[in-house]
Chains A and B, each alone.
Chain A
């Protein structure tokens, strides 16, 4: 007789979800599913609004990475205007994007995943939490909070507020950065670099201790996708799409972001609101791809900044020459490298006189009826695709969010962890937390990634204590 084990809620991720593990008659893991049980409806209720409003509206998709939506939406608006965004505005937007990478990655690594990484998966759950982390490694908790505060402060300095700033607009940005603010931020940077160095040391120690998990979590072949610059370097704001296969071969390169519909198709399943994007030419089975920090470091040729490139070389010791790092556990490592890179880029940008220029916004009306804006959010590549009428009112909205793009890989990861660590007879805390941590490695933002109001069919099942299906209901 088969049995289903439910784990809910998944703690320390944004949003709500549950996981079910399906056992076969022999008590072995047959399948595992990551159910996302909330939906938002942004793609529907934005229809009829003006594209000018979209940066402000879509920033509300998320309280963690509103900047990504703000920027992708502004870029889609740039395309609708058909104007060249002034170079100083692009530099200012880049600055805010890097600040967001720092604050978001810092929260994920130090405060959400830190307890698992530094205290161990089998530690008593009463201790394996933020307070346990503070007791064992107060300097790491303080470091995470300082990095968060640094990123949030920079976002607030540019956009007046750190959550839901309405600063970037189609055509540019609303305001620049004064000299005093620049100096203040530059003055904080040395301490931030030190904090990341300390975290890198601790993480490398954890890699040795958690060898079992490192070898299992998401250690499977897949495609990886991200933006790269014209020279193949790591890119977070502009650039073109690159897809790398599991054998390291580049199968798509320098694809203009507006051509993404040729690369990506989406599937739906009745048991989750989260869609399943895949690389269209290979189909849903073979077309599973990952995005986010791990993918970005796998697809780029180099980081382009000194400290991050040094770490990137070490990162690539964890895979065969010329091949991508497959293990999802390395998302954590990739986050730290990206924080380092973002800090270096922030230092560069703040030293560039271009930020002092006054022309920071181009003005125009609707010149194109379709606008596609793409940038790299902390969790991966973010697409905003708008179609407007001649008055700029939205007729179609499609948002492809990082967490959704990792959906196939997250499900695969859960199954893999369950197969390795679950025995039918014993459901211990260590197993439950490993499954959760497998998801947390992707740092999913579920409130971002669900947006299919009204279209998703529902399938409800009622299971008895013995695993028998007692009742079920369908909504087409």
Chain B
């Protein structure tokens, strides 16, 4: 699930990576979603019985490494809910409301340019292909050798 604003340069990198993943992952085994922001109803998607792993893809400002991968778990974020949510809260909603929360990770890409426009920063452009391979290794471990290290 890639999310961000495609008109805010690097902020949209999560969605660009999701679009690349959609081309590489078999549709019968993986559902790729792209969203402007995480909204409450998306918990219905990750609470499906057919979902055993979820990968959220976002950006982090001025991140040095091409990608950072974290295991994330359901967390209530003190129960605060607005029009957009954290991935941890989305997992918590899935667990509390539907009794299911898949194993989940958050992968962040570097964001150096978040001004209006679609042109990515040099760092973001360089990060995308590396992050794509890491995502494929995570989501399709049987087809690839999964690196033991989480982060480059």
**A residues in contact (CB < 8 Å) with B:** 11-14, 60, 63-64, 107, 111-112, 126-127, 129-132, 134-135, 138, 141-142, 144-146, 148-149, 152, 161, 163-164
Chain B contact-residue range equals: 20 to 34
A148 and B40: CB pair below 8 A? Answer: yes
Number of A-B contacts (CB under 8 A): 68
B83 and A14: CB pair below 8 A? Answer: yes
Which secondary structure dominates chain A's binding surface? helix
B51-80 near A? 1/0 per residue, CB < 8 Å: 000000000000000000000000010111
A129 and B80: CB pair below 8 A? Answer: yes
| Neighbour of B44 across the interface among A12, A129, A131, A149, CB < 8 A | A149
CB distance from B46 to the nearest CB of A (A): 12
B23-44 near A? 1/0 per residue, CB < 8 Å: 0000000000001110111011
Task: Find the B residue at minimum CB distance from A130.
Answer: B81
| Neighbour of A148 across the interface among B7, B35, B37, B39, CB < 8 A | B39
Task: Find the A residue at minimum CB distance from B89.
Answer: A130
Answer whether A138 and B97 are a contact pair too, CB < 8 Å, given A152-B41, A163-B35.
Answer: yes
8 examples of A-B residue contacts, CB within 8 angstroms: A107-B40, A130-B80, A130-B81, A144-B40, A145-B43, A145-B97, A148-B41, A161-B36
A107 and B83: CB pair below 8 A? Answer: yes
A129 and B83: CB pair below 8 A? Answer: no
Answer whether A112 and B97 are a contact pair too, CB < 8 Å, given A145-B41, A145-B44, A152-B39.
Answer: no
Task: Find the A residue at minimum CB distance from B96.
Answer: A134
Task: Find the B residue at minimum CB distance from A151.
Answer: B41
Residue B92 interfacial (CB < 8 Å) = yes
A132 and B41: CB pair below 8 A? Answer: no
Task: Find the A residue at minimum CB distance from B84.
Answer: A63
CB distance from B116 to the nearest CB of A (A): 9
Answer whether A131 and B76 are a contact pair too, CB < 8 Å, given A141-B97, A142-B97, A145-B93.
Answer: yes
Cβ < 8 Å to A, chain B residues 1-41: 7, 35-37, 39-41
- Give the CA-CA distance A60 to B40 in the complex, in Å: 20
- Give the CA-CA distance A129 to B78 in the complex, in Å: 8
10 new A-B contacts, CB < 8 A, other than A129-B81, A130-B93, A163-B39, are A63-B37, A129-B78, A129-B79, A130-B81, A135-B96, A144-B40, A149-B41, A152-B39, A163-B35, A163-B37
- Give the CA-CA distance A179 to B112 in the complex, in Å: 45
Which residues in A have their C-beta under 8 angstroms from that of B44?
145-146, 149
Task: Find the B residue at minimum CB distance from A141.
Answer: B97
CB distance from B18 to the nearest CB of A (A): 13
Nearest 9 Cβ contacts at the A-B interface: A129-B79, A131-B79, A149-B41, A130-B81, A163-B36, A148-B41, A131-B76, A134-B96, A130-B79
Answer whether A12 and B81 are a contact pair too, CB < 8 Å, given A63-B36, A145-B44, A149-B44.
Answer: yes
Which residues in A have their C-beta under 8 angstroms from that of B76?
131
A145 and B79: CB pair below 8 A? Answer: no
Task: Find the A residue at minimum CB distance from B43.
Answer: A145
B80 and A63: CB pair below 8 A? Answer: no
CB distance from A133 to the nearest CB of B (A): 8
- Give the CA-CA distance A126 to B78 in the complex, in Å: 7
Task: Find the A residue at minimum CB distance from B95.
Answer: A134
- Give the CA-CA distance A119 to B92 in the complex, in Å: 20
Task: Find the A residue at minimum CB distance from B6.
Answer: A164
A14 and B82: CB pair below 8 A? Answer: yes
- Give the CA-CA distance A161 to B79 in the complex, in Å: 28
Which residues in A have their C-beta under 8 angstroms from that of B7?
60
Task: Find the B residue at minimum CB distance from A11.
Answer: B80
Task: Find the B residue at minimum CB distance from A153.
Answer: B41
- Give the CA-CA distance A148 to B41 in the complex, in Å: 6
Which residues in A have their C-beta under 8 angstroms from that of B43?
145
A145 and B80: CB pair below 8 A? Answer: no
CB distance from A45 to the nearest CB of B (A): 9
Which residues in B have their C-beta under 8 angstroms from that of A141?
93, 97
B40 and A131: CB pair below 8 A? Answer: no
| Neighbour of A63 across the interface among B81, B83, B97, CB < 8 A | B83
Which residues in A have their C-beta under 8 angstroms from that of B40?
107, 111, 144-145, 148
Which residues in A have their C-beta under 8 angstroms from that of B36?
63, 161, 163-164
CB distance from A17 to the nearest CB of B (A): 13
Which residues in A have their C-beta under 8 angstroms from that of B79?
126-127, 129-132
B41 and A131: CB pair below 8 A? Answer: no
- Give the CA-CA distance A145 to B93 in the complex, in Å: 10
| Neighbour of B82 across the interface among A12, A126, A164, CB < 8 A | A12
CB distance from B66 to the nearest CB of A (A): 28
Which residues in B have their C-beta under 8 angstroms from that of A129?
78-81
B81 and A111: CB pair below 8 A? Answer: yes
Task: Find the B residue at minimum CB distance from A60.
Answer: B7
- Give the CA-CA distance A146 to B76 in the complex, in Å: 20
CB distance from B76 to the nearest CB of A (A): 5
Which residues in A have their C-beta under 8 angstroms from that of B93?
130, 134, 141, 145
- Give the CA-CA distance A132 to B44 in the complex, in Å: 19
Answer whether A112 and B82 are a contact pair too, CB < 8 Å, given A60-B7, A131-B92, A163-B35.
Answer: yes
CB distance from B78 to the nearest CB of A (A): 7
Cβ < 8 Å to A, chain B residues 125-140: none
Which residues in B have their C-beta under 8 angstroms from that of A148?
39-41
- Give the CA-CA distance A111 to B82 in the complex, in Å: 8
Task: Find the B residue at minimum CB distance from A115.
Answer: B79
